[in-house]
Every structure is written in C-alpha cells, then in structure tokens.
Amino acid sequence: MCGESCIRDLPQFLLFILVLLITTPLLGSYMAKVFGAESLPGERLIYRVLSIDPSEEMDWKSYFLNLFAFNVIGLVVMFLVLFFQNLLPLNPQGFNGFSWDLALNTAVSFTTNTNWQTYSGESAASYASQMLGLTVQNFLSASTGIVVAVALIRGLKRTETPYIGNFWVDMVRATLYVLLPISTVGALFLVSQGVIQNLDPYLKVELLDPALKGKEQVIPMGPVASQEVIKLLGTNGGGFFGANSAHPFENPTPLSNFFECLLMLLIPTALTYTFGKLTGRQRLGWVIFGVMLFFFTSAYITEYWAMSQLPPSFEKLGISGPYMEGQETRFGLGGSALFGAVTDSAETGAVNGMFDSYLPLSGMVLLMLMGAGVVFGGVGAGLYGMLAYMIIASFIAGLMVGRVPEFLQKKLHPKDMWASVVTALTPTLLVLVLTSIALLTKAGTSSILNPGPHGVSEVLYAYTSTANNNGSAFAGLNANTLFYNLTTAFAMFAGRFVVIFAVLMLAGSFAQKKLVPMAPGSLREDSITFAVWLVFTVLLLNVLGFFPAFSMGPALEHFLLYGGR
C-alpha cells in the first residue's frame, strides 16, 4: 500500500510527467524547424567565417570522418588544457596539472558526452579548465549526439540518395539554436535559486561551533550555474563539485531539483517528436515516446518501492521509515528517486545522492536503465539507440511470419542488421568484457573497497556507466588508477564512436533505399502491437546480456541482505 511518503511524493512525479507531455511537442516542433529549415538567421555569416558551404551535403562516410576528426581535435585540446592547467590563467587556488592518465581519461570522458570523473572538481580543476575545457565540451559533445540522431532521421526519410546532411551545419544549429538559448535561460533560473556564478577565490570562514573556535573552513567558489545547466541539458553529468547535484551550490532547493530533472529529459523526449515531424510519422514518434515512458515509469516505481522497504535486519536495529542512507534530506525519498531514475534514464551521470549507499534492488534498477541506454537516453543517443532496437524488432517479426523484413517501408538487408546489432550490443559487450578483466586481475580488484557482491556491483556499474556514456559512479571504487583510467577511457571512446559509426552507416544505407508499398500483412510500426513487441525485444536483449552479471552483484547482495547476513 502507498504510505504517507508515497502520497506526498506522487503529485511531484505526476506533475513531472505532465510537464514532459507539454514540453515534448513544443521543443520537438522547434527542433524540427531548426534542422529542417533551408536557412536560419545569422548562420550564413558563421559559415562564411569558417569557409563552410552549407549547400554541400555529405554521404555517411564523410559525415562520420568530419565528426570524428572534430571530436578528436576537441579531445586533444581538452587534454592539453587539463595537463597544463597550472600554466593557464584563472587558477586562483594554484591547482597543479592533471597526471597524463587522468587528463586522458577526463578528456575522453567529456568529449564522449560521458563526464565520468575520478577527481573532485573543486579540489583539482581550475576555473580555466572548468570553462575552456569541461563546459565547452559539454556543449560540443551534446551537439554531436543530436546531429547523429538528426542524420539518422534524414536517412530514414530520404530515398535513393547517398546524402544525409552536412555535419558542420547540423553542429552549428544544434549548438547555437538549441543548446545555447535554453542554457542561457536555464542558467539565469538556477542563479535565482541560489546556484553560484563567479570567478572569486575560495572563501575561508571561521567555524561557528564554539568548540572549534579559531578553525577555518574553505568554501569553494566558481562559475557553477553556466556549467550546471549544460551538464544537465546536454545529458553530460560532470559536477563542478565532487558531491555533484547533491551540493547546495549546484542544486539548492526542491524547485531547482525538479528543474534539473526536467533539463535532463527535455531534449531526449523532444527528439521523439522531432522524429515524427521530420519523417511525417507523428504517430510513430508518440509510440517511441510511449515505450520510453513505460520503461521510465516502471523503473521509477520499482526504485521508489525498493528504497522504501527496509530489510528485516535493519528493523531489528530500531531503524524505521523510508531508507534515507545516501539520500539528500532536502529532497527526500521522492526527489532522490526521481533524480536517480531520470539521470540514469537520460544517461546523464549527475547525481543528487550517493548510489553506493542505496539498497541493492535500487542500484540494480539504475544499472538496468543505464545498460538499456534507450529509456529516453542521452541527447540523440537514446533516439538512435531505440531506432536500432526497432529495426531489430522488425527484422525478427518479419522472419517469424515468413515475410521479407522491412522498416518504415524499406527492406532490411544484412548490412542494416549488422549496424543495428553493433549499435545495440556494443556497450553491453564492452561492459561484460571489461568487468571480467577487472575482476580477474589484481589491478582491478585492488581498487575495490567493499568485498563481496557489493564490490562486484561497483565494478559493474563503473563500466556500465562509461560504456553507455553515462558517467555516474557507485563510489566505493578507487577508479583514479592507471588501470581504471585507461580501461574506462577505452570503454567511453569505443562505446561512443563505434556506435556512432554504425548509426551513420545505417543512415547512409536507408537513404539509398527505395520505398516499398505497404502490404496487407505488413507490420505497422506505429501500432500498439509493435509497441508491445518493441518492449519485449528491448527486455529480451538486455536480460540476456546482463542477467548473469546482476546475479553475482546486486541480486545476490539483495538476497544476502534480506537473509539477515
């Protein structure tokens, strides 16, 4: 039954869903106009300065090569900024440069929209690194994800052409006409709630406790609001402070907590509507949204229930009420559960609580959301990941009824299936292989601070987070080592660019296809039947991939905990 806390928190969740239902068509329509327009005000001057011909379209190979080169250059610049930050201005605390492996890991992390951090921002990164490195890549990596989704949408819509758009035009539009305006307004709102924005040196204040008279506390300062808003809007996740969105300077009030949750899902949900607009299949766009919303709601309910059920062994100790260990008391169970479900659904990585302290089933729900990667997902990544699952579902359905498989009135070929499978299963393969290596080597196990199944969960979560461009951590794992810096960097790089390569190849393949007429026996992708089949397909592939790992980690820990051991 729903207790007092449930009755109190339910309106917040329902209001959140209502706001999403309102913003999805509004922002989705706007983005469809941005990416579907022949020209936008002011952009031609930018192309002239950058010597870009906006009318020159690219095939999928050229699109990928330009995208990849642009991101690698950004990665190198980011590495140099972090490595030599002690020589750069805007470093009032005099922080040293990052070690080479930490600089590499962080540069890969922010370039791939992952924002995995094995350092504490306020004690390691200068203002120059935060603004010139991290914040800039928050914009560019988010734009990269958006333009890949847009390129795939074009490929699905177009027929008998090798071209899927112009990467540079798409990047300019995603950055200047989508991310920047929303970030500007969002940053001002966060400042109004108490998020700080300055370039002041850290403050030293005397402690108020009379017993500690004469002792001082250092209070970090910095340009937080400008980074906070894009870290969430772009589903990046890297915190200015080590405590991330649990820090009162990043997330001061329950209203800011609600707003930050909304920022994370704003673009992923809107892109489903943009897909419908640009392809002329609006009903299918709502089907995609509905499937994602079903998974999200189911995950939130399960997580909330798991966090509100105390194990018998806890009750014997006199502990009662909702389980609040690791949660921020300013937001309560509802605000913590909502933020956790949103951040791992959107592959953001921002946290307002410490997942390492959550009960095992709650942690398993978060792992499942990350592992799937398509429950709204990161900006762009969630949509193109779900489209890959839809193609796989269509292929299986076609084989089951003895028809030539097709998707959106285009016949599916082996190359399409290879690209879809690579898109859907590359992160899973990376997670399982790298977790196995970590658990079988001293370099991997020596960093585990919690023995038993919880330690397995920490390692599993780390690689699930990095391979799926999430970036949050279970904590309790010393990840700032040469082994973990290099292996997680590999997971982030491969999990991002191998998948993007496959998605763009898929876009190019579909753009060259002819439309085939609908037959009486054709499976309509915008039907309830297909939606149910898609849910089954996503569940099947992820359960087959992750069930053994979950059995050794959070599931086993749950049974041991409820067994009183």
Q: Is the dihedral of CA 41, 383, 24, 109 positive or negative?
A: negative
Please report the pLDDT score of residue 232 as a whole number. 96
Please report the pLDDT score of residue 316 as a whole number. 74
Q: Tokens 């089933």 appear where? A: 361
Residue 80, judged by CB atoms within 10 A of its CB (0-12, 13-18, 19+), counts as: middle
Beta-sheet strands, E only, within 371-481: 406-407, 410-411
Q: Is the dihedral of CA 136, 257, 539, 444 positive or negative?
A: positive
d(CA 421, CA 498): 12
Q: Which pTM was predicted? A: 0.94
d(CA 161, CA 122): 50
Q: Tokens 């607009």 appear where? A: 277
Report the greatest alpha carbon distance in the chain.
83
Please calculate the CA angle 16-22-24 and round it to the nearest 5 degrees. Answer: 95
User: Could you read off the pLDDT tens digit of each residue along the chain, which spans 565 residues?
Assistant: 456 677 788 899 999 999 999 999 999 999 999 999 988 988 999 999 989 999 999 999 999 999 999 999 999 999 999 999 999 999 999 999 999 999 999 999 999 999 999 888 888 999 999 999 999 999 999 999 999 999 999 999 999 999 999 999 999 999 999 999 999 999 999 999 999 999 999 998 988 888 878 788 889 999 999 999 999 999 998 889 988 999 999 999 999 999 999 999 999 999 999 999 999 999 999 999 999 999 999 999 999 988 887 777 777 777 766 777 778 888 888 898 999 999 999 999 899 888 878 888 888 888 899 988 899 999 999 999 999 999 999 999 888 877 778 999 999 999 999 999 999 999 999 999 999 999 999 999 999 988 788 888 889 999 999 999 888 888 778 899 999 999 999 999 999 999 999 999 999 999 999 998 877 767 789 999 999 999 999 999 988 888 888 888 888 888 887 775 4
Q: What is the DSSP letter of 177?
A: I
Residue type, 229: V
Residue 455, judged by CB atoms within 10 A of its CB (0-12, 13-18, 19+), counts as: buried
Please report the pLDDT score of residue 564 as a whole number. 52
Please report the pLDDT score of residue 477 as a whole number. 86
